[in-house]
Amino acid sequence: MEAKPTRTRRAVVVLITAALVIVVVGVYLQATATGATGSLSSEVSSLKSQVTSLEQANSNLQSLLSSEAGPSSNSSSSSAGGLYAKYSVSVVTIQSYELITQNTFFGQLNSIESVQGSGFVIAYQNSPYVITNNHVVSGTSNITVTFSDGNSYPASVKGTDQYRDLAVLAVSAPASEFHPLNVLASGSALTVGETVFAIGSPFGLAGSVTAGLVSQVGRTITESTNTQITIPDVIQFSAAINPGNSGGPLLDSNGNVVGITTATASNSEGLGFAIPAGTLSRELPSLVSNGGYSLHPDLGLDSTADMTYQLARVTGSNVTYGVLVESVVTGGPADKAGIQGGTKTVTVEGQNYLVGGDIIISINGVKVVDSDGLASYLEENTTAGQTVQLGIISSGTYTSESVVLGAY
């Protein structure tokens, strides 16, 4: 349907050109037949004026056709290429070695496996550092960092946070190797649908770039580690990343770091996740100075479930959103504030729930839709030791409870 106006205008251009030819031929034949040279001069002058008008109309139509064609199909590629050309020099490949112990029929068998990931250069207090994921360097030794020019140097861990999968490395390299990226202090400006770019070393292929969209923000993921660590307030994006991309930068269209790529969803065909740049900015001083970060806010909720329409019907609740408290940590912040967990088990669509406990529907006056929203609010807006106000539905009645946040 959209192609019809374009074909129509092209037809008009052809007709204009044909008319121009007919006019020229007609005037020439008329002048030849009559021999009226004086009138021929007048006709030629008139013809020139018509030609000028026809050429202008032709030019206008060609401009219109060109604008309707839209931007070049490789415009996104040009954008990705421009970002890569300018900022890939700041992205590094990280390699380390991990000791693997296996129990076999013949006893314990030790082997050494290579671990590879990505990272990027930042500047903090006039010193250069490399940022990566904690899982890239955790439990490893002999860490090396390879810059885009191929030069490799030894590195040491300056600070880590396993709960947000962050690590800061100090690299023994000359100053000329470091080209810091700008890290946004807050990810609040990141919008769903925004184009982002991931640069890293998937499968060891250094200097690879992919582009995609921010699919959603404020996600909560669980990393596949022995401790099953849950990470809140994560960016979900569609740029293809693979093993080896971990720790690389996620850039916006201006080349700013908006996230640190950390994981992919199993069998997702391109769904990736990144730790927000705001988390890194908030933790960086402690990671560099103290070697870690232990001020994550904690409500002390042991088990929760997102409220749904079906769950509300079964429990007789009048709200279909919020966070159902199934159990609390004994002696934790929520327990001390008197927040109650569930008392009986029900099954909804094949899933067991411990119901009868309080339902959190707001925090500091902000509506809580689900567990992701609650975790993201805590991550972005609170600190350990802070007092927050929780809006709660308890036994069908609304109440407000003050909770002093713990830390981990």
Nearest to 236 by CA among 193, 299, 180, 282: 193
Are the beta carbons of 98 and 113 closer than 8 angstroms? yes
DSSP state of 106: T
**Residue 165 is a catalytic residue:** yes
Q: Which residues are CB-contacts of 291 (< 8 A; sequence separation ≥ 6)?
A: 158, 159, 160
Whether 372 sits among the annotated catalytic residues: the reply is: no
Distance between CA atoms of 80 and 308, rounded to whole angstroms?
41
Enter the DSSP assignment of 85. Answer: H
User: At CA 131, angle to CA 127 and CA 134, rounded to 5?
Assistant: 135
- The whole-angstrom distance between residue 361's C-alpha and the CA centroid of its chain comes to 27
Closest by Cα among 219, 396, 225 to 316:
396
* Active-site residue identified among 201, 208, 215, 246: 246
Q: Residue with structure tokens 């929203």?
A: 373
Residue 191, classed as helix, strand or coil, is coil
Burial of residue 237 (CB within 10 Å: 0-12, 13-18, 19+) is buried
Active-site residue, from 90, 118, 135, 372:
135
Exactly one of 165, 233, 358, 370 is catalytic; which is it? 165
Question: Six-digit token pair at 199?
Answer: 């640069």
Token reading at 164: 């947000």
Tokens (6 digits) for 404: 């002093």
Q: Can you tell me the distance from the alpha carbon of 329 to that of 403, in angstroms, rounded to the nearest whole number?
A: 13
> How is residue 41 written in tokens?
């001069």
Determine whether 303 is an active site residue.
Answer: no
Positions marked active-site: 135, 165, 246
